[in-house]
């Protein structure tokens, strides 16, 4: 069953039209997924994920809500992957669980990365269709041509899509590094040829739309690394993204020039290097790559260790080195640590902590602020202008970026003389129909959202469990267990109290205060409702007791340390003359009450 109004063959005036439908990646960095719809058929470009924010504890990944694609399953002709970064391929395993057998098009390296991700998630494998730059593919009413683009991962492409309504060009993630090897350079000629032919809409990468000038070349990074390798007196320990194979090429060149040998460390690093070598994208001269066993015979000045962990990931190779927990590497004075990657927003604190640990161990630390040891894979303002000048689109639709990036991209186009009316700022789920007569209409939005991945489970950002986890992390948890006489409800022993994750100066006194408060609460309840229940011959309402206990215990923490921990109370009703107790257990407080609203003071 398809989503109502999801496709139209023609505009009201009879002109053919193509719809642009973003499912993710507009208003955030990550989750990139775009749908083009024409004449009742659809293609999807990318299926990316994003990583959780600090306020999403326990969440492993965030993926788009693909319910729109599921609802239109019979209309989808195929999925195109522009390159192998997680924010473009990482959600594919979850989409495959919804749409098994979907044809997936990508370059050899991109599909190799994709196969690994799908195996890891134990998802159904799609129908893989390998393509290369300048290949053309017909999918229903769509004719696709793949265009080589340069990026921080190798084998990336943009895609030009000819439709009955006109040509839509999606740049993918790109930069214009004219110093890159010829096989890696952005195909400026092909983009220009489409500009000459006529582009109805350009969907263009906006990530660095707020960065002036032109991006740094990987060759310049290579020159800097070669100098550092040559001058460093001891071991080099370099961290970069495992997918930055162009960077790894430059590291290999620098190692050869400085007569050093390389050890690759970290599961994703060794796996990606192996894949790139098998496919011919990375050539390492014989004798340069060694393992840790062989490294024992090397002088410190002869060794480079290339590791994962540039973002301060707790279990990465670099973090284990800094913490003294790495089995083969003990960091010491004379070592040079190189962070050859930008800090992803949100990771600055973790990276800073690593830097401090390395400095404490006596190592020298080099980061991108001090040296040119990182180059972005996304074009700066001058490159975005050049893409617009080459393609000369009638409409610009900025993609891949936060709202500020999309707005800044619009300003760049306006600086080149493009009218604001032809620059369409969309949000996830917003749908625009572009007609052959170059008119456009905003259509009914489609359902979009984010799904949270926790192990094998998919959840929602509104999941009340997340709210409770945040509460636990901020205020801690207190559990109280009270044993009562099932006939009189009199407490039989001092309640057991456990306090976790709550900081206060005198643990014993506060725990004792909670215990006394719980005892008094139970005793008062026994004299009141408990006694009344005995007189009437009916069972006492223990739910009321549980509610009072929780409120009284929380009031202790509010008075003493101004905190509202999660309070779990348990009442055990038992007949002292019987060996088999009965239990009444309360789970944590209702999720709509985690901020303490409605608590009584006892």
456 in a structural domain: no
Structural domain total, the chain: 3
Q: Are residues 102 and 169 in the same domain?
A: yes
Q: Are residues 549 and 589 in the same domain?
A: yes
Residue indicated by tokens 């707005």: 407
Of the residues 331, 366, 401, which one is the last residue of a structural domain?
A: 366
Mean pLDDT for the stretch of residues 447-472: 71
Q: Are residues 324 and 405 in the same domain?
A: no
Q: Report the candidate in 446, 469, 530 with the shortest Cα–Cα distance to residue 55.
A: 469
Q: Are residues 173 and 238 in the same domain?
A: no
352 in a structural domain: yes
41 in a structural domain: yes
Q: Are residues 260 and 328 in the same domain?
A: yes
The answer to whether residue 401 scores a pLDDT higher than 90 is yes
Reported confidence tier of residue 588, pLDDT bands at 50, 70, 90: very low
Give the per-residue pLDDT at 421. Answer: 96
* DSSP string of 22-81, one letter each residue: EEESBSBSS--EEEEEETTEEEEE----BPPPTTSTT--EEEE--HHHHHTGGGEEEEE-
How far apart are alpha carbons 166 and 212 in whole angstroms?
32
459 in a structural domain: no
Of the residues 384, 412, 443, which one is the last residue of a structural domain?
A: 443
CB 528 within 8 A of CB 438: no
The answer to whether residue 585 scores a pLDDT higher than 60 is no
Q: Report the candidate in 211, 237, 226, 192 with the shortest Cα–Cα distance to residue 377.
A: 211
CB 557 within 8 A of CB 471: no
Q: Order across the sheet with 261-265: list the strands.
A: 261-265, 303-307, 236-239, 336-339, 364-366
CB 269 within 8 A of CB 307: yes
Q: Is the dihedral of CA 50, 56, 57, 63 positive or negative?
A: negative
1 in a structural domain: no
- Rg of the chain over Cα atoms, rounded to whole angstroms, equals 30
pLDDT tens for each residue of 290-313: 999 999 999 999 999 999 999 998
The answer to whether residue 469 scores a pLDDT higher than 70 is no
Reported confidence tier of residue 221, pLDDT bands at 50, 70, 90: very high
3-class state of residue 147 by DSSP:
strand
436 in a structural domain: yes
3-class state of residue 262 by DSSP:
strand
Q: Are residues 233 and 361 in the same domain?
A: yes
Give the per-residue pLDDT at 5. Answer: 37
Reported confidence tier of residue 554, pLDDT bands at 50, 70, 90: confident
Question: What CATH number did the domain enclosing 170 receive?
Answer: 3.60.15.10
Domain that holds residue 102: 17-213+376-443
137 in a structural domain: yes
507 dihedral zone (left: phi>0; alpha: psi -120 to 50; beta): alpha
**In the numeric block, which tokens belong to residue 46?**
């990318």
3-class state of residue 182 by DSSP:
helix
553 in a structural domain: yes
pLDDT tens for each residue of 167-206: 999 999 999 999 999 999 999 999 999 999 999 999 999 9
Give the per-residue pLDDT at 211. Answer: 97
Q: Are residues 64 and 198 in the same domain?
A: yes
Give the per-residue pLDDT at 10. Answer: 64
Question: What CATH number did the domain enclosing 302 receive?
Answer: 3.40.50.10710
How far apart are alpha carbons 83 and 372 in whole angstroms?
25
**In the numeric block, which tokens belong to residue 519?**
């005892």
Q: Are residues 208 and 232 in the same domain?
A: no
Q: Is 271 exposed, middle or buried (0-12, 13-18, 19+ CB in 10 A)?
A: middle
31 dihedral zone (left: phi>0; alpha: psi -120 to 50; beta): left
CB 535 within 8 A of CB 507: no
Q: Are residues 480 and 560 in the same domain?
A: yes
The answer to whether residue 539 scores a pLDDT higher than 80 is no
**In the numeric block, which tokens belong to residue 417?**
């003389």
The answer to whether residue 537 scores a pLDDT higher than 70 is no
Longest dimension (CA), the chain: 94
Strand partners, 431: 443
CB 581 within 8 A of CB 574: yes
Q: Are residues 296 and 403 in the same domain?
A: no
Q: Are residues 357 and 409 in the same domain?
A: no
Question: What CATH number did the domain enclosing 561 receive?
Answer: 3.10.20.580
Of the residues 366, 393, 411, which one is the last residue of a structural domain?
A: 366
Give the per-residue pLDDT at 544. Answer: 80
pLDDT tens for each residue of 477-493: 888 888 888 777 788 88
Mean pLDDT for the stretch of residues 21-42: 96
Q: Are residues 98 and 245 in the same domain?
A: no
pTM for the model stands at 0.81
């Amino acid at each position: 069953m398809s989503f109502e109004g999801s496709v139209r063959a023609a505009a009201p005036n009879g002109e053919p039209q193509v719809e642009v439908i973003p499912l993710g990646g507009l208003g955030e960095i990550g989750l990139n997924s775009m749908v083009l719809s024409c004449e009742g058929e659809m293609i999807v470009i990318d299926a990316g994920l994003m990583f959780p924010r600090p306020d999403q504890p326990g969440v492993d990944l965030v993926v788009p809500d693909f319910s729109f694609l599921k609802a239109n399953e019979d209309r989808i002709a195929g999925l195109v992957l522009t390159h192998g970064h997680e924010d473009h391929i990482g959600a594919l395993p979850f989409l495959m669980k919804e749409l098994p057998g979907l044809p997936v098009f990508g370059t050899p390296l991109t599909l190799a990365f994709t196969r690994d991700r799908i195996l890891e998630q134990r998802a159904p494998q799609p129908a893989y269709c390998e393509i290369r730059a300048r290949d053309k593919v017909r999918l229903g009413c769509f004719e696709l041509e793949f265009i080589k683009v340069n990026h921080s991962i190798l084998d990336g492409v943009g895609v030009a899509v000819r439709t009955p309504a006109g040509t839509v060009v999606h740049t993918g993630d790109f930069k214009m590094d004219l110093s890159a090897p010829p096989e890696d350079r952005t195909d400026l000629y092909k983009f220009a040829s489409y500009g000459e032919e006529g582009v109805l809409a350009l969907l263009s990468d906006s990530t660095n739309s707020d960065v002036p000038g032109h991006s740094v070349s990987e060759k310049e990074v290579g020159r800097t690394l070669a100098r550092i390798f040559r001058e460093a007196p001891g071991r080099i320990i370099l961290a970069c993204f495992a997918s930055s194979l162009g960077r790894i090429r430059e590291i290999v060149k620098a190692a050869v020039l400085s007569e050093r040998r390389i050890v690759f460390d970290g599961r994703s690093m060794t796996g990606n290097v192996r894949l790139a070598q098998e496919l011919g994208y990375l050539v390492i001269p014989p004798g340069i790559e060694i393992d840790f066993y062989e490294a024992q015979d090397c002088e410190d000045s002869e060794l480079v260790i290339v590791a994962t962990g540039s973002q301060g990931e707790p279990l990465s190779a670099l973090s284990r080195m800094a913490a003294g927990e790495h089995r083969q590497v003990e960091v010491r004075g004379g070592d040079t640590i190189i962070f050859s990657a930008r800090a992803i927003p949100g990771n600055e604190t973790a990276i800073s902590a690593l830097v401090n640990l390395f400095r404490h161990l006596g190592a020298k630390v080099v980061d991108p602020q001090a040296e040119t040891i990182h180059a972005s894979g996304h074009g700066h303002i001058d490159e975005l202008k050049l893409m617009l000048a080459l393609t000369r689109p009638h409409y610009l639709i900025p993609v891949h970026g936060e709202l500020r990036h999309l707005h800044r991209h619009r300003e760049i186009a306006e600086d080149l003389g493009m009218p604001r009316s032809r620059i369409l700022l969309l949000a996830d789920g917003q749908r625009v129909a572009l007609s052959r007569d170059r008119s456009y209409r905003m259509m009914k939005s489609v359902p979009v959202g984010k799904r949270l991945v926790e192990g094998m489970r998919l959840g929602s950002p509104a999941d009340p469990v997340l709210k409770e986890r945040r509460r636990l992390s901020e205020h801690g948890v207190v559990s109280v267990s009270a044993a009562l006489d099932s006939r009189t409800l009199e407490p039989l022993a001092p309640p057991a109290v456990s306090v976790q994750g709550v900081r206060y100066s005198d643990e014993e006194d506060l725990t004792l205060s909670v215990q006394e408060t719980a005892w008094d609460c139970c005793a008062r309840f026994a004299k009141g409702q408990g006694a009344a229940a005995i007189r009437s011959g009916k069972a006492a309402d223990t739910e009321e007791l549980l509610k009072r206990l929780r409120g009284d215990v929380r009031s202790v923490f509010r008075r003493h340390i101004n905190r509202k921990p999660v309070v779990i109370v348990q009442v055990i009703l038992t007949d002292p003359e019987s060996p088999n107790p009965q239990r009444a257990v309360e789970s944590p407080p209702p999720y709509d009450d985690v901020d303490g609203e409605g608590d009584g003071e006892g």
